[in-house]
Structure 1
Amino acid sequence: MIDARCRCGAVALSLPGPIKMVAACHCIDCQRRTGAPFGVGAFYPAEVVTISGAPKEYVRAADSGGKVRSYFCPECGSTVYWKADNLPAMIGVAVGAIADPNFPAPIRSVFEQSKHAWIEIEVAGVEHLQQGSMRKSSS
């Protein structure tokens, strides 16, 4: 098991281990959520994630027309995880909250139309998308 947690430790997730479903998102909302030029999330099936603490929820409209619910620590303000209407069985976990420099790299880079020009994600095999989608693409 691995931990993801906020800065102060009041909100924590227990995860079964690293997962390959990792995405870098360059949408404006992720930029504002993280305070960085992009966010990186690891997506886990909801049933394998254990949540402790009492996070605060922030709900916003997504570009897809659904809602995204971000969960952050009411004490230190760190966003730890989120849930999106378009992926109801999954929980997105902020890779920074996992704090493991050996965590797997993104397999997708999404919403690249709002990517900062100086950002280059050049991981072998990464899928680059203008819009966002964590659904498997047909090849």
Structure 2
Amino acid sequence: MIERLASCSCGQLTAHVAGEPVRVSICHCLACQRRTGCAFSHQARFLRANVSPSGISSEFVLAGDEGPGAKFHFCPRCGATVYYEPLSMPDYVSVPVGAFADPGFPPPSVSVYEERMHSWVVPPASAEHLA
């Protein structure tokens, strides 16, 4: 079984992940753009049982464009988000793909909120495009 380690910038907060993600997605909603400081967010969803966080995190609950949103866990020292809990999916934990610092990570298979996508962004042709 494949194992990966997600980490904040200073290494204080980590999430050890076992197995492949159940979904890798990019989101173009305005909340994700603001949260990441980027044109979209890129995350991998895993079964909660396969994610083992370690370290001290601060939490921030952010309401989504639809649904109850998510509880984000970020390092109180360097500010990097390492994982988050989608409030409508208690059996899953999502990890920002950048926290793995792995250029070989699987590409996104889903692209959401494309109506808010920046004009220069081109999702992978193989990705499912959801509203």
Q: Which TM-score tier does this pair reach, normalised by the shorter chain? A: over 0.9
SS of match in other structure, 2:98 = helix
Superposition TM-score, scaled by structure 2 size:
0.93
Paired AA for residue 61 in structure 2: V
Paired AA for residue 11 in structure 1: L
Note the C-alpha offset of 1:11.
Answer: 0.4
In 2, Cα distance between equivalents of 1:112 and 1:72: 26
Note the C-alpha offset of 1:84.
Answer: 1.3
- Which residue number corresponds to residue 93 of structure 2? 91
Paired AA for residue 99 in structure 1: A
Superposition TM-score, scaled by structure 1 size:
0.88
In 1, Cα distance between equivalents of 2:106 and 2:81: 20
The runs of at least 4 consecutive aligned structure 1 residues that moved more than 3 Å come to: none
- Which residue number corresponds to residue 36 of structure 2? 34
SS of match in other structure, 1:33 = helix
In 2, Cα distance between equivalents of 1:123 and 1:100: 21
Paired AA for residue 85 in structure 2: K
- Which residue number corresponds to residue 81 of structure 1? 83
Root-mean-square deviation (Å)? 1.2
- Which residue number corresponds to residue 129 of structure 1? 130
Deviation string, structure 1 residues 6-49 (Cα, Å, up to 9, x no partner): 00001000011442510001111111111110010000011111
Which runs of structure 2 are paired with 1:1-139 in the superposition (5 Å)? Answer: 1-19=3-21, 21-124=23-126, 126-130=127-131
In 1, Cα distance between equivalents of 2:92 and 2:23: 11
Q: 5+ residue gaps in structure 2?
A: none
SS of match in other structure, 1:32 = helix
Note the C-alpha offset of 1:112.
Answer: 0.8
The sequence identity of aligned pairs, in percent, is: 40
SS of match in other structure, 1:96 = helix
Deviation string, structure 1 residues 63-85 (Cα, Å, up to 9, x no partner): 22313111110000001111112
Q: Which has the higher strand share?
A: 2
In 2, Cα distance between equivalents of 1:70 and 1:18: 21
Q: 5+ residue gaps in structure 1?
A: 131-139
Paired AA for residue 68 in structure 1: A
